[in-house]
Structure 1
Amino acid sequence: MHFKKLKVRPRKNVQAIYCAKELSNMLSCWAATDDLKSSAACAQSATALFECMRTAPMPAKKHRPSINYHLARLNKYLK
Structure 2
Amino acid sequence: MIFINPKLDQRGPCTPEMAALLTCWATSSVDSPSCAQTVQALTECMRRAPKSSKHTNTINYHLARLGKFL
Q: Which bracket does the TM-score occupy, shorter chain normalised?
A: 0.5 to 0.7
After superposition, residues 1-79 of structure 1 pair within 5 angstroms as: 15-33=10-28, 35-38=29-32, 40-65=33-58, 69-77=62-70
Once residues 24 and 68 of structure 1 are traced to their aligned partners in structure 2, the CA distance between those partners, rounded to angstroms, is 36
d(CA) in 1 for partners of 2:61 and 2:23? Answer: 45
The superposition leaves residues 14-45 of structure 1 with CA deviations (integer Å, 9 ceiling, x where unpaired) of: 73531122112212211221x2233x221110
Q: Which has the higher helix share?
A: 2
Whole-Å Cα distance in 1 between the matches of residues 14 and 47 of structure 2? 10
The structure with the larger Rg is 1
CA RMSD of aligned residues (A): 3.5
Shift in Å, 1:68:
5.2
TM-score, length basis structure 2: 0.64
Structure 1 gap segments, 5+ residues each? 1-7
The SS at the match of 1:63 is coil
| TM-score, scaled relative to structure 1 | 0.59
Query: Any unmatched runs of 5+ in structure 2?
Result: none
Corresponding pairs, count: 70
Task: Tell me how far apart the structure 2 counterparts of residues 31 and 16 of structure 1 sit (CA, whole Å).
Answer: 22
